[in-house]
């Protein structure tokens, strides 16, 4: 395709070479070249972006994959979007396969909804549309003042299960917590497999702490109502004649597996795999219950800190993630990590948006709960 006559440009906002691999794959599928730009860090760590070609009146797609240095990647995206806006680009569309800060989408005690803040920053920088994949919570789309296309990686992961896991008909889909049961149920129904859920934890989970205004701490010795807490830490007596009911603290039951995994292949599905401690613990429980092979399927393989080493030393047989996040270094450290390429659906989304075609084809057979 002649880039000059295509009517759109595709840029990469990453300063790291490893993070541009997905952008190169997408542009190869589209038959265009990456836009000419330079993204780098000054000696004082400030981000600088120089766009090396005219973008006036063009539709611009910025592909930004998120490496371990999340905040730098965000600044690169914001600065590039603003540079294109001030260069008179017609539309600026962000292609952000893994949307950062998506776990901080709920109110915590004396905290903030950082994901909403980031959405506002992107709009202010000049973005007019976002293409992303498997948001941690689909309700995040409501934080934006412009359209968001939340693509799904599940068709690619399901295809991997069918083609790469021998005897997958003897498998069972596992949710590592009740919160992940809907996603696991979707996989189980599409593959016509059984479903198991791991329930119970040794300590407070993230979901319990999501809103400190409504959920009391898991460990709290309360024998009765002692009044309102002041900033100084002292207690103020309640208003006369008012008795507020005491919220019972949650108590986690012992870890149990709801469903029979004995003699089966266990496939744990989730959207993000970062701190692998929960997955390793789940694999050990499944092994104890008789599962003879354990696979982890996730869209975003962040695999931070010692994740590769922990996976290598665990009962997990294979971890399958997509290339929404660069993880080549982790793959060198742990051969159990496998990658599924999703550049095809991202390229098709770009093509359809530019041509004004319906996106319905990319969401066929996708239900509300998927």
The string of pLDDT tens digits covering residues 287-322 is 999 999 999 999 999 998 899 999 999 999 999 999
User: For the residues 43-56, what does the mean pLDDT come to?
Assistant: 94
C-alpha 344/C-alpha 341 separation (Å) is 8
Q: Which residue has better confidence, 45 or 222?
A: 45
Question: pLDDT band for position 237 (50/70/90)?
Answer: low
User: For the residues 149-175, what does the mean pLDDT come to?
Assistant: 96
Question: pLDDT band for position 239 (50/70/90)?
Answer: low
Q: Which residue has better confidence, 47 or 18?
A: 47
Predicted TM-score (pTM) of the model is: 0.86
Task: Report the pLDDT value the prediction gives residue 248, as an integer from 0 to 100.
Answer: 82
Q: Where in the chain is the domain with CATH 3.40.50.2020?
A: 9-151, 155-203+255-340
Residue 90's region, left for phi above 0, alpha for psi from -120 to 50, else beta, is: alpha
Residue 327: name the closest of 311, 344, 349 by CA: 311
pLDDT at 353 over 90: yes
Cα angle value 43/49/53 (rounded, 5°)? 145
Torsion of CA 199, 205, 211, 212, to 10 degrees: 120
Tokens matching residue 107: 């109110």
Question: Which CATH number applies to 155-203+255-340?
Answer: 3.40.50.2020
Nearby residues of 274 by Cβ (< 8 Å), 6 or more positions away: 302, 303, 304, 307
Q: Which residue has better confidence, 159 or 1?
A: 159
pLDDT at 107 over 90: no
C-alpha 160/C-alpha 154 separation (Å) is 10
User: For the residues 264-293, what does the mean pLDDT come to?
Assistant: 95
Task: Report the pLDDT value the prediction gives residue 244, as an integer from 0 to 100.
Answer: 77
Domain 9-151, classified CATH 3.40.50.2020, yes or no: yes
212-247: b or e for each residue (b if 16 or more CB lie within 10 Å)?
A: eeebeeeeeeeeeeeeeeeeeeeeeeeeeeeeeeee
Task: Report the pLDDT value the prediction gives residue 364, as an integer from 0 to 100.
Answer: 86
Task: Report the pLDDT value the prediction gives residue 246, as an integer from 0 to 100.
Answer: 82
């Amino acid at each position: 395709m002649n880039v000059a006559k295509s009517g759109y440009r595709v840029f990469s906002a990453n300063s790291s070479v490893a993070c541009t691999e997905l952008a190169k794959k997408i542009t190869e599928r589209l038959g265009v070249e990456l836009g000419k730009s330079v993204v780098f860090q000054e000696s004082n760590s400030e981000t600088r972006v120089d766009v090396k070609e005219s973008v006036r009146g063009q539709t611009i797609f910025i592909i930004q994959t998120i490496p371990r240095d999340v905040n730098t990647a965000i600044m690169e995206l914001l600065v590039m979007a603003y540079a294109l806006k001030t260069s008179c680009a017609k539309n600026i569309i962000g292609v952000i396969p893994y949307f950062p800060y998506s776990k901080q989408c709920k109110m915590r005690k004396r905290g903030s909804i950082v994901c909403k803040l980031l959405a506002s920053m992107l709009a202010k920088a000049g973005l007019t549309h976002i293409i992303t994949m498997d948001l941690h919570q689909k309700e995040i789309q409501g934080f934006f003042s412009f359209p968001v296309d939340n693509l799904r990686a599940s068709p690619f992961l399901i295809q991997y299960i069918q083609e790469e896991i021998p005897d997958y008909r003897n498998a069972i889909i596992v949710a590592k917590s009740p919160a992940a049961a809907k996603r696991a149920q979707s996989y189980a129904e599409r593959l016509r497999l059984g479903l198991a859920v791991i329930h119970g934890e040794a300590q407070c989970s993230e979901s319990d702490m999501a809103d400190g205004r409504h959920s009391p701490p898991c460990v709290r010795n309360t024998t009765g109502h002692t009044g309102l807490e002041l900033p100084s830490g002292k207690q103020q007596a309640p208003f006369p004649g008012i008795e507020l009911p005491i919220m019972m603290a949650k108590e986690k039951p012992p870890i149990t597996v709801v469903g029979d995994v004995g003699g089966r292949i266990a496939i744990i599905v989730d959207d993000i795999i970062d701190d692998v401690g929960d997955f390793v613990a789940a694999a050990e429980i499944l092994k104890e219950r008789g599962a003879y092979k354990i696979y982890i399927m996730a869209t975003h393989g962040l695999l931070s800190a010692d994740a590769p080493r922990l996976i290598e030393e665990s009962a997990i047989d294979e971890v399958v993630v997509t290339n929404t996040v660069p993880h080549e270094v982790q793959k060198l450290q742990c051969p159990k990590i496998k990658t599924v390429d999703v550049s095809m659906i991202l390229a098709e989304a770009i093509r359809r948006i530019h041509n004004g075609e319906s996106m319905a084809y990319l969401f066929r057979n996708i239900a509300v709960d998927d």
